[in-house]
């Protein structure tokens, strides 16, 4: 077990003799799990715990993620203790102060993201020949932006390339979902349709996974190469998540295409326009089970990417 999801209202959490104990009202026996097999604790319901619990989880290097079902982008992440080798962070700080290195790394990141988006659309083209025109148009536009990346000299221009490619990509991507899902583009605050609910929840969890991978390698997640520093934002984790969005988006497409998640797993409060769409209890059970299966590979790739970034920094700054 790497991640434990707590989605039961009024559950009580405590650590005792190296085990995280979850007590649920009117349910026996209580559930417990050794903390040494945990990497992340995800809580998406009102629960009870003490400050001692958070201290112990931090010492055990377990990241805690608190999710608000009605505002996915308003989650809270508690991080573990920083890696003991501060020299790794010094490499990161040194690289960030060299604009030429920053733009080089940022261009590589955006290029890789666009190639992954293109790969998803090529897969979609093969799976959905009825959408051939939409997919080929988007692929062509992404190719055009890819050709421009080498000539870019500023972050502003690079963000323009990423934005143009992203607009073309999402216009095609939304065509992959059934009309009954009412997915007509990205919306977040709050998410108004089932696909946007799952996109927001998945991006939130990926961000937490990235924070943990970076911490364990020795990076400071707050300071990114592509994303500018911002108060309370783990900008380097945002950098890493960009590489995993297309992988997650392909997985989300599969969830709905295979009807693993269906419209009946979602509800809209009072069925009124403008109110958030919410993943119901049964939908969350399905989602978290499916997420954990795919996240095993994503975690492995994040750790590999984080170590690769460290190797690249060590090589470039020692020359």
Rounded to 10°, the helix 235-257/281-318 angle is: 140
**In the chain, what are the domains?**
3-78 (3.100.10.20), 86-318 (1.20.120.920)
Q: Read off the pLDDT of residues 66-75 as tens digits, 9 standing for 90 and up.
A: 776 666 555 6
**Stretch 162-172: mean pLDDT, rounded?**
95
Per-residue pLDDT at 194 exceeds 50: yes
Q: Write out the two tokens for 134.
A: 């939409």
Mean pLDDT over 165-169 rounds to 95
Q: Which two tokens stand for residue 201?
A: 């929840």
Q: pLDDT of 274-293, one tens digit each? A: 567 888 888 888 998 899 88
Cβ atoms of 198 and 206 closer than 8 Å: no
The 10s digit of each residue's pLDDT in 6-56 is 777 778 887 777 777 788 777 766 777 787 777 777 877 778 887 777 777
pLDDT confidence of residue 271? 46
| Sign of the dihedral through C-alpha 160, 237, 135, 104 | positive
Q: Is the pLDDT of residue 158 over 70?
A: yes
Residue of 91, 89, 86, 96 whose CA lies nearest to 317: 91
Output 77 or 306, whichever has higher pLDDT: 306
Q: What percent of the chain has pLDDT over 90?
A: 44
- Considering only CA atoms, which of 279, 259, 281 is closest in space to residue 269? 279
Asked whether 191 and 281 are in contact (CB, 8 A), the reply is no
Classify residue 233 as left (phi > 0), alpha (psi -120 to 50) or beta.
beta
- Residue whose structure tokens are 């924070």: 211
Residue 58 pLDDT exceeds 70: yes
- In the three-class reduction of DSSP (H, G, I as helix; E, B as strand; rest coil), residue 50 is classed as coil
The model's confidence at residue 81, banded by pLDDT at 50, 70 and 90, is low
Mean pLDDT of the chain: 85
Q: End-to-end distance of the chain based on CA atoms, in angstroms?
A: 41
Note whether 121 and 138 are within 8 A (CB): yes
Q: What tens digit of pLDDT does each residue of 92-128 get? A: 898 898 998 899 999 999 999 999 999 999 999 999 9
The residue to which tokens 């417990």 are assigned? 32
DSSP state of 153: -
CA 255 to chain centre: 16
Backbone angles phi, psi at 76, to 5 degrees: -120, 135
Q: Are 3 and 296 in contact (CB under 8 A)?
A: no
pLDDT at 113: 97
What is the reported pLDDT for 123?
95
pLDDT, residue 35, reads 76
DSSP state of 226: S
Q: What is the pLDDT of residue 124?
A: 95
Structure tokens at 125: 């083209």
Higher pLDDT, residue 270 or 251: 251
Considering only residues 59 and 272, tell me which one the structure prediction assigns the higher pLDDT: 59
- Polymer length in residues for the chain: 319
- Longest CA span, the chain: 64
pTM score of the predicted model: 0.84
Q: Which two tokens stand for residue 118?
A: 């293109």
């Amino acid at each position: 077990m790497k991640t434990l999801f707590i989605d039961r209202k009024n559950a009580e959490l405590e650590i005792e003799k190296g085990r995280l104990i979850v007590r649920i009202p009117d349910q026996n026996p209580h559930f417990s799990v050794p903390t040494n097999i945990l990497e992340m604790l995800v809580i998406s319901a009102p629960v009870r715990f003490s400050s001692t619990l958070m201290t112990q989880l931090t010492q055990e290097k377990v990241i805690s993620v608190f999710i608000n079902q009605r505002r996915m982008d308003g989650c809270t992440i508690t991080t573990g203790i920083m890696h003991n080798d501060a020299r790794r962070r010094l490499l990161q700080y040194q690289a960030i102060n060299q604009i030429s290195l920053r733009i080089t790394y940022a261009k590589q990141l955006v290029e890789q993201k666009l190639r992954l988006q293109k790969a998803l659309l090529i897969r979609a083209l093969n799976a959905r020949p009825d959408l051939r025109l939409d997919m080929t148009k988007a692929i062509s536009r992404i190719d055009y932006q890819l050709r421009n990346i080498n000539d870019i000299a500023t972050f502003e221009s690079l963000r323009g390339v990423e934005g143009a490619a992203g607009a073309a990509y999402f216009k095609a991507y939304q065509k992959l979902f059934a009309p009954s899902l009412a997915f007509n583009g990205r919306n977040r605050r709050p998410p108004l349709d089932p696909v946007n609910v799952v996109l927001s929840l998945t991006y939130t969890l990926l961000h937490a996974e990235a924070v943990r991978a970076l911490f364990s390698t020795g990076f400071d997640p707050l300071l990114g190469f592509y994303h500018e520093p911002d108060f309370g934002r783990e900008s380097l984790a945002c950098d890493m998540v960009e590489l995993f969005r297309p992988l997650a988006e392909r997985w989300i497409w599969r969830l709905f295409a295979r009807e693993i998640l269906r419209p009946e797993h979602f509800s809209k409060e009072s069925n009124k326009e403008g109110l958030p769409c919410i993943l119901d209890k049964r939908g969350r059970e399905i989602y978290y089970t499916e997420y954990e299966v795919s996240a095993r590979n994503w975690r492995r790739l994040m750790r590999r990417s984080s170590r690769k970034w460290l190797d690249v920094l060590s090589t470039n700054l020692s020359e």
